[in-house]
Amino acid sequence: MNLQTDKYPSRFLVIGLGNDQRGDDGAGLEIVRRLRQMHLPGVTLREAPADGAALLEMWQEADPVILVDAVRAEQAPGTVCRFEAHRRPLPEHVFMPLSTHAFGVAEAVELGRALGRLPAKLIVYGVTGKDFSPGAELSPEVRQGVEEVVSRVLQELE
């Protein structure tokens, strides 16, 4: 793929969330790693732990922003969902933190909205996970979802 430098705004940020020691929870990290291999000019790629508290600082002065993360949803594993978080709240039942004390993505987005610190455009992709067990690898279904999100993020960048 031949990408021209002027195709992408210089303040574009893609953040991959997750924990690659917990199976499918590493989906967001894997997406960012695949994008990093493409050497996308003008795009900043960051990896972050599953805790959403750091997001407010990470996306400061970036616009647009894409977040990618694994989700727990009722859809089949590997299903991809897309949300325009700058327009409406994220469904909390989909973006639940993996632990009861963690500050999740949905909470970070709403805190950013309340504080006036939400990017003007914030797109969130979720890949429905199957196995979040410690030490597990990405499931085959989630690997397919990762590939789909990589393609869709590239389309967003254009």
Q: Per residue in 55-95, pLDDT tens? A: 888 898 888 999 999 998 888 999 999 999 999 988 877 77
d(CA 68, CA 73): 15
Has residue 13 got a pLDDT over 90? yes
pTM higher than 0.75 for the full model? yes
d(CA 147, CA 60): 28
Q: What's domain 10-157's superfamily in CATH?
A: HybD-like (3.40.50.1450)
- Whether 146 contacts 34, CB under 8 Å: yes
Quote the crossing angle between the two packed helices 27-37 and 140-157, to the nearest 10°: 50
Task: Tell me which DSSP letter residue 94 carries.
Answer: T
d(CA 110, CA 5): 33
d(CA 128, CA 85): 18
Q: Per residue in 117-144, pLDDT tens? A: 999 999 999 999 999 999 999 999 999 9
The tokens of 51 are what?
């805790």
